[in-house]
A and B are shown apart, each in its own frame.
Chain A
Amino acid sequence: MPLIASTAILRCMHEWALAEAVIEAARAAMGARPPSCLRSVTVTMGELQAIDQEIFEFALSTMLQETALSAARFVLQTELAEFQCRACARSWGLHDATGITDETREAIHFLPEAAHAFVRCPACGSPDYMVSKGRGVSIKSIDVADTASCV
């Protein structure tokens, strides 16, 4: 695929909206502290949402350059998805989940709660389960330098 076309596709993926949310959250967490004091942000990406890490990193780095947080570093970690049945207490992972096709995987990518429309407990068939781990994008930690050392 030509570079220009592939870049255009990268730029329209829905990962951008979540990357923007991460940057806005980091900016909000800085409060009144100088933006240059933001050292790093550790982001957890839940396996269930299946965020494309390459696109997500590209979106983060591109948008970051437009902010005063440009010295910050993003650390991305993937968390495996875990489901837990409320009816029979069975726990299972995404690899054991039935009912996920290419189309339903895309729906879950956009809205992880859509999993509840397709996935059932592999032990008892119950629709009453929780996604106990690895749902979507969240910020695990934000590392900020002392103001005296970064201004």
Chain B
Amino acid sequence: MIDPRESVIVKRLASVDRVVGFFSAKGGVGKTMTTALAGCALAARGKRVGILDLDMQGASMHIVLGAPHGLPAEDKGILPVRVAADLTLMSAALFSGERAMALRGEEISHAMRELLAVTQWGRLDYLLFDMPPGIGEEVLDCALLVPRIEAVMVSTPSVLSLSVVERLIGVLAETHIAIPGMIATMTRGDAQAVRTFARKVGVAFCGEIPFESNLEKAIGFPDRLVASDSARALLSALGTMGMSGGTT
């Protein structure tokens, strides 16, 4: 048996300038929020942005972005849903709703390949991947199926997060995934730990997103996410990686 989907994925992404994933092998460090903030902030500055939620078992990007309910439309494939003027989203949750999908490894890989093969993103400046925690199917399939993906590392200053990120960086190097930089999240004046770690592992430290207690209230509202202090801090960090949103 030949899986035909693999043959068309590169073609689907041909009109995307940069594919950037937000990676961190540890859960709860802010990958989803960082991805959402990046998407909203870049789109608000005139960039065409798509977000693919690859956290099949814990998809939540549709909640963060306040995605409309209902199945996506078709046009020689499946169209990502529009959540803001220049921001679209594709997620397994658009099909499963709020019901749990208990998936094992091969099934996760199937779902990822399906979404990559049938989603018609159109012309994009950035396609952002919200990666799940762990170093499993999604990471390895990115290396296999989307070889030009760039992996932005996301970590809190906690040694628990940094130690797992170090292992992930090793796998990314072995699978030839480029790492444009690292961002410290939920900092409380302790970003130096991430800066020191980045220097040790040879990854560019690009900035920090200080902990923002009111950010929870912006969930579901892309315009509020754009207006947050976190979005401003993230834009500065993204700028050091050549991901510029220009000016509003």
Contacts and interface: CB of A to CB of B under 8 A. Distances in A.
Report if A and B associate in a common complex: yes
A22 B2 CA distance: 9
A29 B2 CA distance: 9
A16 B4 CA distance: 13
Of listed B2, B11, B100, residue having the most chain A CB within 10 A? B2
A143 interface: no
A28 B99 contact: no
A117 B8 contact: no
Which range contains the number of B residues in contact with the other chain?
A: 35 or more
B88 to A, nearest CB: 16
Interface string B74-108: 11111000000000000010011101111110011
Interface string A17-58: 110111011011100000000000000100000000000000
Interface in A3-20: 11-14, 16-18, 20
B240 interface: no
Interface string B105-121: 00110110011011010
Given A28-B7, A29-B2, A113 B101 contact: yes
A106 interface: yes
Contact of B56 (A12, A112, A113): A113
21 contacts: A11-B76, A12-B75, A12-B76, A14-B76, A16-B77, A17-B117, A17-B118, A18-B4, A21-B8, A25-B2, A28-B7, A44-B1, A110-B71, A114-B101, A116-B102, A116-B107, A117-B101, A128-B102, A128-B104, A131-B107, A136-B114
Interface of B: 1-8, 11, 56, 71-72, 74-78, 92, 95-97, 99-104, 107-108, 110-111, 114-115, 117-118, 120
Q: Top 10 closest A-B pairs, CB basis?
A: A17-B77, A117-B96, A25-B4, A24-B7, A16-B76, A139-B2, A21-B8, A117-B99, A25-B7, A113-B111
